[in-house]
Structure 1
Amino acid sequence: MKKTNALILTLILALSAFLSGCGAVGSNDIRIGVLNEMTGGNATMGTSAANGAKLAIKEANAKGGVLGKKIQAIYADNKSEPSESANAMTKLASQDRVVAVTGIFSSSNAIASSSVAEANKLPFLAVGATNPKVTVDEQSGKVKDYTFRICFIDPFQGTVGANFVLDSLKLKKAAILVDSSSDYSKGLASFFKDALTKGGGSVVAEESYLQKDQDFKTILTKLKTMDVQVIYVPGYYEEVGKIVKQAREMGLMQPIVGGDGWDSPKLTEMGTAAALNNTFFTNHYSPDDSSEASKSFVEMYKKEYGQAPDAMAVLSYDAANVLIDAIKRADSTDPDKIRLALAATKDIPTVTGSTSLNATHDAVKNAVIIEMKDGKQVYKATVKP
């Protein structure tokens, strides 16, 4: 019997040592999940987001880490799909045992991940998911306890886009093309329409498509028969690029306007530089930002990755730093204490400006207007909330 007990004790100690060596709970690292669209339709944005978080964590570790420990990032890919987002969040919570998670660009993916984070009482700081349903439960209307975001939300972004059409482009009659498979696209289209009509404009056509569609000529043919002055396309860069290219080929030369889902180097690849002239989109950030914080970040990012950062890289860098700051303020790796610290976030210096989270766990941020000129993004204006 004594030999059996001794053997069991030896096995337990060996297993504990093994788990400790693998970085399990109880190791000298603080595990943070970094969950993004690394493959699939939004891969360029997810890769940028992962790069931004990686840079922030590398910087924090170089300064000694947090609470006397190094930060260990556990990277996960949601494959640009809501179901995979939920699966990846489940793994981060139950197997990887992270203390918090940051990441995700797509609203649909963030909503799916948020459900898992809430069930596991795991703090989740979304990077670029702008639909209100990310942080507020659609059924109950209650603010989610463990879900936060670092970016502005679509009621603001849609209003900025509509006001730009009315006040800067001086146009009133719009057609809207909506990705009906995307919470982001449907929500942003709705907020744009509300703001446009309240401002004296009108929506003369609403057409829908699905993510991964290739041919948009049937929709565009309808628009050619209508009195359309501007086309609003609140979608993601792959479909947007194809829509713009096909629209120009069919002689639709009106201004085309969209949202932050356009922000990818692949937009020009899909749409061509010439076709994208006279197009505009709302975004979180422009590399042309002249603040010292922005210039320093752009220089650091270029040195690390050999290219200029996009908005997702900047937002993810900011999100990782806000999360690290919350862990410091919580003075703990306990998830409940971290989420309380996140909820109390106020006036934290970030690249995209001083960051505070409001009562619905959303950041109140400026938006910028970007114009596409000869395949390049050109800053036009900053719009405050």
Structure 2
Amino acid sequence: MRRPLMLLATLALAVVACEKKNAPAPAAPSPEGQATGGPAAPVDSNTILLGEVGSLTGSEATFGVSARNGIELALNEANEAGGVKGKKLQVRVYDSQGRPEEGAQAVTRLITQDKVVAILGEAASSVSMAMAEKAQAGKVPMVTPTSTAPEVTKKGDYIFRVCFIDPFQGLVMAKFARENLKLSRVAVLRDNKSAFSMGLADVFTAKFKEFGGEVKGDESYSKGDTDFRAQLTSLKRLKPEAVFVPGYYTDVGIIARQAREIGLKVPLLGGDGWDSDKLYELGGSALEGSYFSNHYSPDNPDPVLQKFLARYKATYGSVPDSVAALAYDAARVTIDAMKRAPDLSGPSLRDAIAATKDFPGVAGRITLDANRDAVKEAVVLKVSGGKAEFVTTVTP
């Protein structure tokens, strides 16, 4: 197993120019340089070091790049405002490659070698769960931006998230399908190797039935598959009015094209794993009229959000996706807790993060409940004209 790709970003003065949701390009070096292996640059006594783990390469690389951008922006802003406790913030970034074992190794290194005070990441629930075990054992707080599987924060009291969880997201889409779209018969196509996909499919199925609908078929595939025609053909025979596909954009775009190829013309429904410009490149017009739940919409006029959008676009030249927005929120929640904590020891910072209430995030106000999960709203978006359009907001 090769060692994780290591990127060192010094965020006091520098930003990294990356294109959102395109194949990730190497980050531009900061003034103090960046490392892709070997020993990391030392951290002086006037610097507070955080850790970040994300999928910078692999099939979900756009998630890692977006998260890195959002975190960089938050730390840059904090440093421009004077830092925390009179010190500047710096982050050490490791690539999980979208693999749980790599994520776990990265967290171990951040804790034992780099001595970080907190860890930000990951996007994927399966990777976050492997990371969480290491963070909990080391008593270092970990805040995930977008891992929605309930099991993530169940790993221990040092594990937090700033996104809603799958039971709420599954409820949102089941309710939307029944009440807004007036559907009575649906089918499900899930990724059986993804905790995110399996959990979301289970909740959607249970809630749709609870609301009086029928789930006519439930097929599965495995991450890395490229041919979904057999499953789609089986579902087509059952004549569903829509198919719920709670996978990642890498699979959903291809699934949409193959569904149309075999004559399955009904809308596809999904979750926040769809959120990527790559979705529209992969799926094209086959996705038109489909819907998915997400964490925020750039159309929201909230001034906190609009200020973030303006700065993000000025820095990276693109509109941030939900991963970037939630990563920005995760970093800001952590920074806010660091300012409130009496010291930066693991227990003190853990308690300060847990006390987060009504925090003005760009993806909605954040209150952490007793399970360290965020209580917040969700939005439903419709694919139209090759982009996602706001449809409605659903509150807890």
For the criterion TM > 0.5, the same-fold answer is yes
Partner residue of 1:184 out of 172, 191, 196? 196
Q: State the structure with more CA Rg.
A: 1
Partner residue of 2:205 out of 193, 200, 219? 193
2:243 maps to what in 1?
A: 231
Equivalent position SS for 1:136: helix
1:195-214 paired onto structure 2 within 5 Å = 195-214=207-226
Instruction: Give yes or no for the alignment of 1:310 onto 2:328.
Output: no
Structure 2 runs not aligned, ≥5 long:
1-39
**1-side partners of 2:142 and 2:212: how far apart?**
39
Measure how far apart 1:295 and its partner are.
Answer: 1.1
1:362 maps to what in 2?
A: 373
Instruction: Give yes or no for the alignment of 1:135 onto 2:153.
Output: yes
**1-side partners of 2:347 and 2:229: how far apart?**
51
Aligned CA-pair RMSD: 1.1
Partner residue of 1:23 out of 42, 46, 71? 42
1:291 maps to what in 2?
A: 302
Partner residue of 2:385 out of 368, 374, 382? 374
Measure how far apart 1:300 and its partner are.
Answer: 0.5
Instruction: Give yes or no for the alignment of 1:245 onto 2:254.
Output: no
State the AA in 1 paired with 2:324. Answer: A
Equivalent position SS for 1:323: helix
Equivalent position SS for 2:139: coil
1:59-208 paired onto structure 2 within 5 Å = 59-137=77-155, 144-208=156-220
**2-side partners of 1:279 and 1:268: how far apart?**
11
2:267 maps to what in 1?
A: 255
1:46 maps to what in 2?
A: 64
Partner residue of 2:330 out of 316, 319, 323? 319
Equivalent position SS for 2:374: coil
Kept in 1, the 8 Å contact 2:100–2:126? The answer is yes
Deviations 1:270-297 (A, max 9, x none): 111x111011000001111111111111
**2-side partners of 1:331 and 1:72: how far apart?**
20
**2-side partners of 1:352 and 1:178: how far apart?**
27
Measure how far apart 1:353 and its partner are.
Answer: 2.4
**2-side partners of 1:353 and 1:215: how far apart?**
38
Deviations 1:93-115 (A, max 9, x none): 11111000112111101111000
Equivalent position SS for 1:380: strand
Measure how far apart 1:331 and its partner are.
Answer: 3.1
**2-side partners of 1:110 and 1:22: how far apart?**
26
Indicate how the Cα distance of structure 1 residues 244 and 330 shifts in structure 2: closer, same or farther if over 3 A, else same: same
Measure how far apart 1:249 and its partner are.
Answer: 1.3
Deviations 1:110-150 (A, max 9, x none): 1110001011111000110000000114xxxxxx1110000
Kept in 1, the 8 Å contact 2:173–2:270? The answer is yes
**2-side partners of 1:22 and 1:163: how far apart?**
51
Indicate how the Cα distance of structure 1 residues 66 and 174 shifts in structure 2: closer, same or farther if over 3 A, else same: same
Kept in 1, the 8 Å contact 2:252–2:274? The answer is yes
Kept in 2, the 8 Å contact 1:131–1:187? The answer is yes
**2-side partners of 1:347 and 1:256: how far apart?**
34
Equivalent position SS for 2:108: helix
User: Which is richer in helix?
Assistant: 1
Measure how far apart 1:22 and its partner are.
Answer: 4.0
**1-side partners of 2:96 and 2:328: how far apart?**
19
Kept in 2, the 8 Å contact 1:276–1:374? The answer is no
State the AA in 2 paired with 1:35. Answer: V
**2-side partners of 1:202 and 1:41: how far apart?**
33
1:333 maps to what in 2?
A: 344
Instruction: Give yes or no for the alignment of 1:35 onto 2:53.
Output: yes
Kept in 1, the 8 Å contact 2:185–2:213? The answer is yes
**1-side partners of 2:251 and 2:136: how far apart?**
32
Q: Name the TM-score, length of structure 1 as normaliser.
A: 0.91
Kept in 2, the 8 Å contact 1:30–1:333? The answer is no
State the AA in 1 paired with 2:342. Answer: D
Q: Name the TM-score, length of structure 2 as normaliser.
A: 0.89
**1-side partners of 2:272 and 2:138: how far apart?**
30
2:20 maps to what in 1?
A: none
Equivalent position SS for 1:355: strand
**2-side partners of 1:171 and 1:349: how far apart?**
35
Kept in 2, the 8 Å contact 1:53–1:316? The answer is yes
Measure how far apart 1:346 and its partner are.
Answer: 1.1
**1-side partners of 2:184 and 2:138: how far apart?**
47
Structure 1 runs not aligned, ≥5 long:
1-20, 138-143
Instruction: State the percentage of identical aligned residues.
Output: 47
Measure how far apart 1:354 and its partner are.
Answer: 2.1
